[in-house]
C-alpha cells in the first residue's frame, strides 16, 4: 500500500474489546498508523441509536480510547479523537442525506436483521427501529468522507457500510463534481478465523470471548476452559483444528509457533500443557497493555486531554472538507 494513503477507522464504544476484535482490526490499524496518516475515533454518536444512558456511553468511550492507546496507538503518528467533538460530522451527515437513496438504507444488513427479528416475533416491521439505526450508514459515510479516507480497516460485519460510503461518494461526485475520494474497506481476512473458547468465531454474541484486559487470574481461567476434543497427550493432533494453536500463533514468534505445531503433530503435548503455554504467551503479550489500560482508566483526565488534542487536529481537516461541500451544494 502506498504511503500517502489515509487510514481511518471508528471504534464503537460498546464495552471492553476482546482479543478477536484486536487481532481482526486494530492490530493492523496500529501497524498502519506507523507509516500512514491515520485517523482513529471513538464513534460515540453511533452508540446513540441503542444506548440511551449518557453515563454508559461516556464510560465506554473512555474504555475504547484507553484500549487503543494501551495496545500501542501512538498519538504522535495518529489522530485519536471523539467523533462527537467534531461538529463538521453532523453537518456532512445532513448534506449526505440528500444524495443517499432510501433504497440503499433498506438494504443495510443491520436494518434488515431488525426487520427479520420483528417478522419472526410477529411485531410491526419497524418495531424498535429509530432513525439513528436506519441512517447509521450515512453518518458512517460522513465519518469516512470528512477525513478524505482511502483505507478503512473494519471487521467483516462493517464491510457493507464502507461499500455504502463508496456508493454515496459516487452519487455525490456525479452531481457535484469529483470532490470525494472513493474509500475501500480493509478486512482482516488473511489472519484467518479467530476462534473463541468454544471453537466458534470469537464474538460477544456467542459469549465465548477472551477479554483483553481481564486480570491475570481470570485470563488463566478462561484459557483453561477452552473446549478441546478428548485426544490423549501422546496422540497426534491437527494444530489447524485446535483453538489453542489457532490463538497461540497470533501471540508467539515464528519459532515458537513452529514448535507448538510439531508438539501437536507428533503427539508430544496434552491439551492442558498447551493451554498453559498459550496462557503464558498471551499473558506476557498483554501484561504491559493491561497495566497501561488500568492506568488510563484511573486517570481519565489524561484521556480527556489526549482526545481534546486529537479533536483540534481532526477539526482542522474536517472544516476544510465541509467548506468545500457547502460551496459545492449551496453555491
Does the annotation mark 12 as catalytic?
no
Q: Which three cell numbers stand for residue 16?
A: 471492553
State yes or no: residue 151 binds ligand TRP (CB under 6 A).
no
Contacts with ligand TRP by CB under 6 A: the residue count is 13
Least distance from C-beta 95 to ligand TRP, angstroms?
A: 17
* 92, containing H or E segment: helix 88-97
How would DSSP label each residue in 11-80? E---S--BHHHIIIIIHHHHHHTTTSEEEEEE--GGGTTT---HHHHHHHHHHHHHHHHHTT--TTTEEE
Contact call for residue 92 and ligand TRP (CB under 6 A):
no
CA distance 267 to 254: 20
Residue 226: which region, alpha, beta or left (left: phi > 0; alpha: psi -120 to 50)? beta
Among 7, 9, 33, 39, the residue binding ligand TRP under the rule CB under 6 A is 9
- Binding window for ligand TRP (CB under 6 A); candidates: 154-162, 172-180, 252-260, 289-297: 154-162
In the numeric block, the cell 457500510 is attached to 161
Which CA distances in Å does 244 have to 85, 196, 222, 306?
Answer: 42, 10, 12, 37
CB of 140 to ligand TRP, least distance (A): 4
Q: Which stretch binds ligand TRP (CB under 6 A): 48-56, 87-95, 139-147, 292-300?
A: 139-147
Residue span binding ligand TRP (CB under 6 A) among the ranges 56-64, 94-102, 150-158, 261-269: 150-158
Based on the shown chain and the rule CB under 6 A, indicate whether residue 168 belongs to the binding site for ligand TRP.
no
| Residue 143 or 150 with smaller CB distance to ligand TRP | 143
Looking only at the bridges linking them, the beta strands covering 151-154 and 78-82 are unpaired
12: contact with ligand TRP by CB under 6 A: yes
Residue 189 bears catalytic tag = no
How far is it, in rounded angstroms, from Cα 31 to Cα 43?
21
> Which of 5, 159, 201, 231 is an active site residue?
201
Tell me: does residue 317 bind ligand TRP (CB under 6 A): no
Cβ-contact 86, 318 below 8 angstroms: yes
Q: Per CB under 6 A, does 65 bind ligand TRP? A: no
Q: By the criterion CB under 6 A, which residues form the site for ligand TRP? A: 8-10, 12, 43, 46, 140, 143-144, 152, 154, 158, 161
Residues annotated as part of the active site: 117, 201, 204
Amino acid at each position: 500500500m502506498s504511503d500517502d494513503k489515509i487510514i481511518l477507522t471508528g471504534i464503537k464504544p460498546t464495552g471492553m474489546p476482546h482479543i478477536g476484535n484486536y487481532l481482526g482490526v486494530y492490530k493492523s490499524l496500529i501497524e498502519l498508523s506507523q507509516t500512514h496518516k491515520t485517523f482513529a475515533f471513538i464513534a460515540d454518536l453511533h452508540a446513540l441509536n441503542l444506548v440511551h444512558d449518557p453515563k454508559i456511553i461516556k464510560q465506554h468511550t473512555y474504555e475504547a480510547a484507553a484500549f487503543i492507546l494501551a495496545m500501542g496507538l501512538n498519538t504522535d503518528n495518529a489522530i485519536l479523537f471523539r467523533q462527537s467533538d467534531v461538529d463538521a460530522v453532523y453537518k456532512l451527515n445532513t448534506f449526505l442525506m440528500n444524495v443517499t437513496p432510501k433504497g440503499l438504507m433498506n438494504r443495510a444488513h443491520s436494518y434488515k436483521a431488525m426487520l427479520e427479528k420483528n417478522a419472526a416475533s410477529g411485531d410491526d416491521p419497524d418495531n424498535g427501529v429509530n432513525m439513528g439505526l436506519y441512517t447509521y450508514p450515512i453518518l458512517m459515510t460522513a465519518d469516512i468522507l470528512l477525513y478524505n479516507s482511502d483505507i478503512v480497516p473494519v471487521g467483516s460485519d462493517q464491510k457493507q457500510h464502507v461499500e455504502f460510503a463508496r456508493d454515496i461518494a459516487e452519487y455525490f461526485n456525479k452531481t457535484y463534481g469529483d470532490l470525494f475520494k472513493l474509500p475501500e474497506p480493509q478486512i482482516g481476512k488473511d489472519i484467518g478465523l479467530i476462534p473463541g473458547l468454544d471453537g466458534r468465531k470469537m464474538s460477544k454474541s456467542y459469549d465465548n470471548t477472551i477479554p483483553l484486559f481481564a486480570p491475570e487470574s481470570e485470563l488463566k481461567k478462561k484459557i483453561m476452559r477452552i473446549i478441546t476434543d478428548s485426544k490423549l497427550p501422546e496422540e497426534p493432533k491437527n494444530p489447524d483444528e485446535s483453538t489453542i494453536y489457532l490463538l497461540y500463533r497470533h501471540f508467539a514468534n515464528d519459532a515458537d509457533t513452529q514448535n507448538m505445531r510439531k508438539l501437536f503433530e507428533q503427539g508430544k503435548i496434552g491439551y492442558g500443557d498447551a493451554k498453559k503455554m498459550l496462557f503464558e504467551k498471551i499473558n506476557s503479550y498483554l501484561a504491559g497493555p493491561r497495566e497501561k489500560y488500568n492506568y488510563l482508566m484511573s486517570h481519565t483526565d489524561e484521556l480527556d486531554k489526549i482526545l481534546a488534542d486529537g479533536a483540534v487536529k481532526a477539526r482542522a481537516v474536517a472544516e476544510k472538507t465541509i467548506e468545500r461541500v457547502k460551496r459545492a451544494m449551496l453555491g
